[in-house]
């Protein structure tokens, strides 16, 4: 590939892009030509002067990888093998570890492990930093590249090195984990957490295609036990399907209420997603529990319930992961771009990505306490007769441990129920009973066409 050919190919691509309809903010080909000339000159010099012979395909692919990686952790250039792997992921079966990952402080970070998965059983926790996958350092690695390395055939093993900081002490530990088909029960621990005050509790760990129906069934069962108020626990929920976040929100919002919208530079990416007609609607008081490991679809649900004043959000700020990736084929060699094309916005117009959802009532807890909550929950599902000595000792240590955020949520609902019906609660009740579409004035997107839901809110 010579210098003239590189320039000519780039020029043809630019002209074709302009013909397809560039946005007004896009630079003209004349603005980009000098930089393409710079790129072409660099390729030509490398080919002629570098000590070893270089495959021009590797040069171009390497440049494209760097270009996409410079945008954000979720955008990437996909070589032919990566495109083929994507088809397997969407059409076939693959093994994984059961973790949601993202980038925080420029480091590959565990957002949340899914319960009862290999990652959860290995002891991975929210906010763990993945510093190595196998022998490869993850510094600068994109989320897509990391996922590609973590996934594989069920039954095969992958070794990851985790860095965890507790009480200012940095701990580095290596885990060898066996990949498995990830099938999880996403709706858990439905119970009357305070039967005297008729307060129920249910925890949602992820948003898959069955979560909406499973949550509705769990709530119906609690209602038959007399539940009149609910704590919905979305802590450590790393996200999942966009369509499921709409299903879950629809259980608590009225028909046509805005759940979320997307905004991008391309008009087709500007969509508003609303509660459908003829759905199930529960009107009882609610508190949503949130923490720094709540991301993606869980942030969509929380943002909608908060903006419509349908629930009080309690806990700590969420992760802030709300972007839409689109796979765009390019060239004739089965290559593609996985490109961030839009971001998610709450009904009031708050951009979720990079911002997160702030609680109405902040109740911070330490990382040690967060780990204790997960450990106590996991140990409670085991029989004390089959526990190891160390596990039983830990079980006894945690017997008196209290989940401060859950306790505060229950106390808040007790107060709300005590005031219910009084003239002092009237203004609050009026907000809770606002007519459908009350938040529509803040619609941030220009289109009311919901279109086809995106597949998911994760990578």
Token digits of residue 405 = 């955020």
Q: So what's the pLDDT on residue 457? A: 36
Do 247 and 342 lie in one domain? The reply is yes
Residue 97: closest CA among 145, 155, 142, 171: 155
Give domain status of residue 454, yes or no: no
Do 134 and 74 lie in one domain? The reply is no
Among 114, 143, 178, give the residue marking a domain's end.
178
Q: So what's the pLDDT on residue 183? A: 80
Question: Which distant-in-sequence residues (6+ apart) come within 8 Å of 408 by Cβ?
Answer: 314, 361, 363
Do 332 and 216 lie in one domain? The reply is yes
The CATH number covering residue 128 comes to 2.30.42.10
Do 384 and 431 lie in one domain? The reply is yes
Give domain status of residue 163, yes or no: yes
What are the per-10-residue average pLDDT scores of the chain (459 residues)? 49 41 55 84 92 92 93 90 72 74 86 87 90 92 86 92 85 94 88 96 94 96 96 94 94 96 93 89 94 94 98 96 91 90 96 96 92 85 81 87 96 88 48 44 38 36
Which helix (H) or strand (E) covers residue 49, if one does?
helix 29-49
Do 232 and 357 lie in one domain? The reply is yes
Residue count (the chain): 459
Give domain status of residue 346, yes or no: yes
Do 269 and 405 lie in one domain? The reply is yes
Residue 156: closest CA among 134, 185, 128, 127: 134
Burial (0-12, 13-18, 19+ Cβ within 10 Å), 294: buried
Helix axes 242-250, 297-307, angle to 10 degrees: 30
Compute how many other C-beta atoms are within 10 angstroms of the C-beta atom of residue 13.
14
Cα 20 vs. chain centroid, distance in angstroms?
32
Do 345 and 390 lie in one domain? The reply is yes
Residue 74: closest CA among 455, 340, 356: 340
Give domain status of residue 373, yes or no: yes
Question: Which distant-in-sequence residues (6+ apart) come within 8 Å of 189 by Cβ?
Answer: 201, 202, 203, 233, 377
Do 72 and 93 lie in one domain? The reply is no
**Model-wide pTM > 0.85:** no
d(CA 129, CA 141): 13
Which helix (H) or strand (E) covers residue 32, if one does?
helix 29-49
Residue 274: closest CA among 434, 435, 436: 436
d(CA 163, CA 252): 39
Give domain status of residue 450, yes or no: no
Give domain status of residue 447, yes or no: no
Left (φ > 0), alpha (ψ -120 to 50) or beta: where does 363 sit?
beta
Among 51, 78, 105, give the residue marking a domain's end.
78
Do 201 and 169 lie in one domain? The reply is no
User: Where do we find the tokens 């009350």?
Assistant: 438
Do 153 and 205 lie in one domain? The reply is no
User: Where do we find the tokens 């911070």?
Assistant: 364
Give domain status of residue 453, yes or no: no
The CATH number covering residue 418 comes to 3.90.226.10
Do 304 and 424 lie in one domain? The reply is yes
| Active centre residues (catalytic) | 296, 307, 321
Q: So what's the pLDDT on residue 426? A: 44
User: Where do we find the tokens 């765009």?
Assistant: 328
Q: Encode 374-394: b = buried (16+ Cβ within 10 Å), e = exposed.
A: bbbebbeeeeeeeeeeeeeee
Distances (CA, A) of 216 to 66, 112, 190: 45, 24, 11
Q: So what's the pLDDT on residue 368? A: 86
Among 161, 178, 195, give the residue marking a domain's end.
178
**Secondary structure in 3-state letters for 97-145:** CCEEEEEECCEEEEEEECCCCHHHHCCCCCCCEEEEECCEECCCCCHHH
Do 280 and 349 lie in one domain? The reply is yes
Left (φ > 0), alpha (ψ -120 to 50) or beta: where does 88 sit?
alpha
d(CA 120, CA 151): 16
Give domain status of residue 457, yes or no: no
Domain extent for 91: 86-178
Domain count for the chain, please give it. Answer: 3
d(CA 131, CA 105): 12
């Amino acid at each position: 590939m010579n210098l003239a050919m590189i320039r000519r190919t780039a020029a043809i691509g630019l002209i074709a892009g302009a013909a397809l309809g560039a946005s007004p903010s896009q630079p003209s080909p004349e603005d980009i030509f000098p930089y393409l000339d710079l790129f072409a000159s660099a390729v030509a010099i490398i080919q002629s002067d570098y000590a070893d012979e270089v495959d021009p395909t590797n040069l171009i692919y390497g440049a494209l990888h760097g270009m996409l990686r410079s945008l954000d952790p979720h955008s990437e250039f996909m070589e032919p093998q990566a495109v083929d792997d994507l088809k397997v992921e969407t059409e076939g079966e693959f093994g994984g570890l059961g973790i949601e990952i993202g980038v925080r402080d420029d480091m590959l970070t565990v957002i949340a492990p899914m319960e009862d998965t290999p990652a959860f059983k290995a002891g991975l926790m929210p906010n763990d930093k993945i510093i190595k996958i196998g022998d490869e350092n993850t510094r600068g690695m994109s989320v897509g590249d990391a996922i590609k390395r973590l996934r594989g055939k069920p039954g095969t093993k992958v070794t990851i090195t985790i860095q965890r900081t507790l009480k200012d002490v940095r701990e580095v530990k290596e885990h060898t984990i066996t990949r498995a088909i990830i099938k999880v029960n996403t709706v858990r621990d439905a119970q009357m957490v305070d039967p005297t005050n008729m307060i129920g509790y249910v925890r949602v760990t992820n948003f898959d295609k069955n979560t909406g129906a499973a949550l509705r069934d769990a709530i119906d069962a609690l209602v038959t036990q007399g539940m009149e108020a609910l704590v919905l626990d979305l802590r450590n929920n790393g996200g999942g399907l966009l369509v499921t976040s709409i299903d879950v929100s629809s259980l608590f919002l009225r028909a046509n209420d805005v759940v979320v919208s997307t905004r991008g530079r391309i008009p087709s990416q500007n969509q508003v997603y609303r509660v459908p007609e003829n759905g199930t609607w529960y009107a009882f008081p609610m508190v949503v529990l949130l923490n720094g490991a709540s991301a993606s679809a869980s942030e969509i649900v929380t943002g909608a319930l908060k903006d419509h004043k349908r629930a009080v959000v309690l806990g700590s700020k969420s992760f802030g992961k709300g972007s839409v990736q689109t796979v765009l084929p390019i060239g004739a060699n089965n290559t593609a771009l996985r490109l961030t094309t839009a971001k998610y916005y709450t009904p009031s117009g708050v951009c979720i990505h990079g911002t997160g959802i702030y609680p109405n009532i902040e109740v911070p807890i330490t990382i040690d306490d967060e780990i204790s909550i997960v450990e106590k929950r996991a140990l409670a599902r085991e029989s004390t007769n089959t526990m190891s000595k160390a596990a039983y000792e830990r079980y006894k240590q945690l017997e008196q441990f209290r989940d401060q955020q859950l306790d505060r949520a229950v106390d808040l609902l007790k107060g709300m129920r005590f005031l219910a019906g009084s003239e002092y609660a009237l203004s609050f009740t009026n907000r809770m009973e606002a007519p459908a579409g009350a938040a529509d004035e803040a619609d941030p997107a220009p289109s009311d066409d919901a279109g086809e839901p995106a597949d998911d809110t994760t990578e």
